[in-house]
Structure 1
Amino acid sequence: MKNILFTHQGPHKVHGSFAETITKNWYYYGDNQPEIIKNLIKSVFDRSTYDIILVEGGLGLPHAVLKKIKNPKTKIILLNADTLIYDLPEMNIIKKKTVKRLLSYVDGFIAISPLNKRIASQYYNNKPISYVYPYGSNNSFEIDCDLESRDILFIGNHEMCKRFDLLVDAVKILNNKGYEYNLYLVGSCVSKIEAEYPWLHKEGFQENLDKYFKQCSMYIHPADFDSCPVTVFEAMSSGLIPIITKNVGEADILDDNKLECLILENNQPETIAEKIVEMGKQDLNWKQNISLQCKEISSEYNKESQSKEFKKVFQELIEKI
């Protein structure tokens, strides 16, 4: 039986559910630089060894690599859920070399979407790379959103690759033309938006999202890149119509379900604005059909199914490495 360690920075609720299927050995490596350095120094004196280390995100690689240097038989599997590999081309030369060096110790990858797998494959096609979609952990299937409202929702943190700033610009374009839309920004994303408009509601972190799921009609995620945000699944669970870019992990799912009309050609404000108007002009019957489809799709990606899939993929990956 393999001795497996899960190293994490929280962990994300979904990642924790995945890890529970394979091991009870968890190690918190920290979620900021001082914590990571402190815990890394502590680990120098830790003599425990493991056959396999599953690492949540790139920030945990230094700890895992140190373990592998001390015990070369250790295998490292990276749960590729962040922007680390996507960001490689834009890193300065020192950071890029450091990251590539750390990634060279990784024996296999589990991405959280085909999108993330494709990006990892551009650099590491000589290593096994699998994927498992996450699931919405704050679903609200009992809610039926207001499909006739002109309220738009975005949920996310302050990472600028999510491009909520372009969404603000898009709604500004619409309201300057008299469309009277409201935009609700939920999460730490609000810290990056200085603009103040009567239609812009900077809600910040919210424990309960039901209020927004009830009153909004569209969920828009215009990211430059987002590997597979669970907020898209969660918004879909209440029937919200999602509008996302092709660089959001769920785009493959929408495409497979013949819902390519919900995928933006690009994330320029004018394009986003045009798509909002296009969706808003559809009749209620069309919206209800799309809404129901989105609910059904979201229900397919649940804790039970995806945790089971993760365990299966993890075991298959172990055999390859």
Structure 2
Amino acid sequence: MVKVVYITRSVPHIGHWSWIQILRRLFKDEFQLMNLSRLRLISNSIIITEGTRATLYGTLVKPLNNCLAAVTLSPSILQPRINKLYSTADVGIAVSNIILNILPNKRKAIIYPRPPELEQLLNINVNISDKKPWICYSGPLIPIKGIHLIPEVAKYVIKDVKNAKFIIIGDGMRDVVINKAIKYGLNDSLTITGYMPRLEVFNILRKCSIYIQPSLFDAFSVAVIEAMALGVVPVITKYVGSGDIVIKVSRELIQDYDAERIANKITEVLSNDKSLKELMVLSRYVVNNELSMEITEKRIISVIESCLK
């Protein structure tokens, strides 16, 4: 039986734990999970590398092995030297169409990340009566996530939606958001919680009506999927990779990087309970269908088969 080794810098990306679970089930004792701090010589294997540093190592041991498949999951792929590095892989693995279109590899495929708790989230009973007019974001407060745009969106929404509140879950460049919130007089309409354990994040998300992801570039965003699984309607920019999933709910939920347009869409959804409920239900349905373990397994098997050609 073929041997498969999955190499990461430290631990796998949280959206890839389901991949590890599938690989372990498929290959049993012939599967190994390794990180760069505990490497040993690898030979006669299919190597799957996650991230730039792991892929660099993969290229060094590629001559001793059957195939190198490299997972790309960060904006670094936009840099010419990193793009060239990934071109050395036999198979390029993208986490979205945004990344797929950038990969230089002749053989390439998509495997979507998925939250490890996805089935549990989908099994939670979610009702529109539990929802509040909250617009939520969960993730690091860094420029590439577009967090500086959230107060600009908020200033439009709170004018038209009664009791609307923006809740930002995460830590990082808080001052950027706080200063803009003060500038726009948002007062109690915008809250930054700071870091929270995942269970607490989910408890807040299930009460939110809208999930906002205004990224400048996002390879995928597992946070969008977590929110959708809890019946939160996503409104994202066209630079977010999980748009591959969101588009199956509604193309209109994917907006240009423009605060007023994003705000108008949020206001439109929050102003129509019937539409909000339909989008809530459809968001959960799409995530359940598109990111099931069965479909993820088929995508992984397809990559392995491509490696063996």
Q: State if a TM-score over 0.5 links the two structures.
A: yes
Q: Indicate the TM-score class for this superposition, using the shorter chain for normalisation.
A: 0.7 to 0.9
Given candidates 48, 63, 81, the residue that maps to 2:57 is 63
* Equivalence for 2:109: 130
How far apart in 2 are the matches of 1:254 and 1:101?
30
SS in 2 for 1:215: coil
Specify whether residues 231 and 74 from structure 1 end up closer, same or farther in structure 2 by C-alpha distance, changes over 3 A only.
same
Residues 145 and 217, structure 2, Cα contact 8 Å, conserved in 1: yes
Q: What letter matches 2:251 in structure 1?
A: E
When the two structures are superposed, what TM-score results if normalisation uses the length of structure 1?
0.79
TM-score (norm 2): 0.82
Pick closer, same or farther for the CA change 1:138–1:146 going to 2, 3 Å: farther
Aligned residue runs from structure 1 range 102-121, under 5 A: 102-120=85-103
Give the letter aligned to residue 65 of structure 1.
Answer: T
Structure 1 distance, partners of 2:205, 2:295, is 23
Whether the 8 Å CA contact 1:152–1:218 is kept in 2: the answer is yes
Q: Output the CA distance in 1 between the equivalents of 2:261 and 2:129.
A: 24
Q: Deviations over 1:238-292 (max 9, x none)?
A: 21111112222232333344x112111x12222222222222222x122111111
Percent sequence identity over aligned pairs: 21
1:317 aligns with 2:296: no
Structure-2 separation of matches of 1:211 and 1:297: 21
1:200 to 182, 190, 194: 190
1:170 aligned onto 2:153: yes
Which residue identity does 2:34 align to in structure 1? Y
- Aligned pairs for 1:37-56 within 5 A: 39=37, 46-56=40-50
Change beyond 3 A, Cα 1:101–1:251: closer
The residue number in structure 1 matching 2:7 is 7
Runs of 4+ that moved beyond 6 A: none
Deviations 1:181-233 (Å, cap 9, x if unpaired)? 31111123554645164322211222212331232110111112222212212
Q: Which residue of 2 aligns with 1:298?
A: 287
- Size of the alignment, in residue pairs? 289
Return closer, same or farther for 1:223/1:20 CA change in 2, 3 Å cut-off.
same
Unaligned residue ranges in structure 1 (runs of 5+): 30-38, 89-95
C-alpha displacement at 1:302, in angstroms?
4.5
Q: Residue 145 of structure 1 contacts residue 213 of structure 1 at CA under 8 Å; is this kept in 2?
A: no
Q: How far is the alpha carbon of 1:14 from its aligned partner?
A: 3.3
Alpha-carbon distance, 1:78 to partner: 0.8
Contact 2:44 2:64 in 1 (8 A): no
The offset of 1:74, in angstroms, is 4.7
**How many Å separate the matches in 1 of 2:193 and 2:128?**
19
Letter in 1 for 2:106: K
- Which string of whole-angstrom CA distances, capped at 9 and with x for unpartnered residues, describes residues 31-61 of structure 1? xxxxxxxx4xx86xx4442432101122312
Deviation at 1:312, TM superposition (A): 1.8
The change in CA–CA distance for 1:190 and 1:240 in structure 2 (over 3 A counts) is farther
1:243 aligns with 2:218: no
Q: Which residue number corresponds to residue 91 of structure 1?
A: none
Structure 2 counterpart SS, 1:202? strand
